[in-house]
Structure 1
Amino acid sequence: MNLDDISRRMNGAVTAFKGELAGLRTGRASASMLDPVTVNVYGSTMPLNQLATVNVPEPRMITVQVWDRGTAQAVEKAIRESSLGLNPIVEGAVFRIPIPELNTERRKEFVKVAHKYAENARVAVRHVRRDGIDSLKKSEADGMGEDESRRLSERIQKLTDETIAEIDSVLAAKEAEILQV
């Protein structure tokens, strides 16, 4: 029974959740907004950041400079077809992507998506807890004392509660950021 491994796996779920939230638009430009964009080039699908340099020169503007001009059309198509609702302005190998102001309806949709991401992270944490409890039951069957098993079970539950509280606080901060006009 390794509590450090359980803690690491729970923290991994929180880190993945934070990464998903970073891709959500809040009305401000962020280079991480384009992380979910994948481009079909060279006979495979590649993340945008492996084909171009992404910068944020202004609070409401993202620039993308492709390294190979031959991929420019595919990159433009991938950005337009992404679920981000962005329309790049093409200037040769450089794309200027203005970030439009979010309307109230769109903000509420993003909040729902953030809640979905949070629930997925909570489920992942609960799966880690279940794996830890199952491991404890197996150890108990192999000769671990009941008191030790109960103590470890309580520590696993405490880790779970702390991790879920962290997920909830990160979600609340992101929700406030999205709804801020």
Structure 2
Amino acid sequence: MEEIEFYIDATQETMEGAIKHLNIELSKIRAGKASTSMLDGLMIDYYGMATPISGAASITTPDARTIAIKPFEKGIFGEIEKSIRNSNLGLNPMNDGETIRLAIPPLTEERRRDLVKRVKQEIEVAKINIRNARQDGNNSIKKLKGDGVSEDAIKAAEDKIQKITDGFVVKIDQIFNEKERDIMVV
């Protein structure tokens, strides 16, 4: 029975990891408000090493529509601007010699619908990850049958994993509804 609980706990942890990953990915999808997390994942060449922009500059949001980037060194302005332009953020960096400013334009209806589509894609990936975790957990438990675990115990464990899966799917749907509302509200 301890082994069954171990596999159930491992399955639940994997599902929690899928939710954490989903939240990280959704934080990168902006809803018309400036957020420093929009620049997460953007890298620059800093002394020959790929470095996140946040590792080479101070990033702040002075107001709801602006991101300010103050590089630690003046020589990397071009690298930061190039990284932002090459990203799919659709932002145009403005450099005043001290700070790079990113003006976050208000979202058009069409852009909002595109963002909701991106959110739906991330949601679907999360649901696939949850289902894969369920399948892996069930397969691990089924292998215990050869170790003398009863079919009733295996069936009960599979039912428990299904209930956990259902709970996570509901949580993902709630996350989607909140993000969609956040994006679509003008």
Q: Calculate the TM-score normalised by the size of structure 2.
A: 0.93
User: Which blocks of at least 5 consecutive residues in structure 1 are unaligned?
Assistant: none
Q: Which moved more, 1:30-39 or 1:54-63?
A: 30-39
Q: Which digits, 9 at most, give the CA deviation of each residue in 1:33-53, with x for residues without a partner?
A: 111322233333222212211
Please point out which of 6, 28, 31 is paired with 2:11: 6
Count residues with an aligned counterpart: 181
Structure 1 segment 26-45 matched on structure 2, within 5 A? 26-45=31-50
Kindly indicate whether residue 27 of structure 2 is the aligned counterpart of residue 22 of structure 1.
yes
Q: Percent identity?
A: 36
Whether the 8 Å CA contact 1:122–1:167 is kept in 2: the answer is yes
Aligned Cα root-mean-square deviation (Å): 1.2
Letter in 2 for 1:43: G
For 2:97 and 2:50, the matched residues in 1 are separated by 22
Structure 1 segment 1-181 matched on structure 2, within 5 A? 1=4, 2=6, 3-181=8-186
Q: Which moved more, 1:90-99 or 1:147-156?
A: 90-99
Q: Which moved more, 1:46-55 or 1:102-111?
A: 46-55
Q: Which moved more, 1:111-120 or 1:39-48?
A: 39-48
Is the partner of 1:45 in helix, strand or coil?
strand
User: Which blocks of at least 5 consecutive residues in structure 2 are unaligned?
Assistant: none
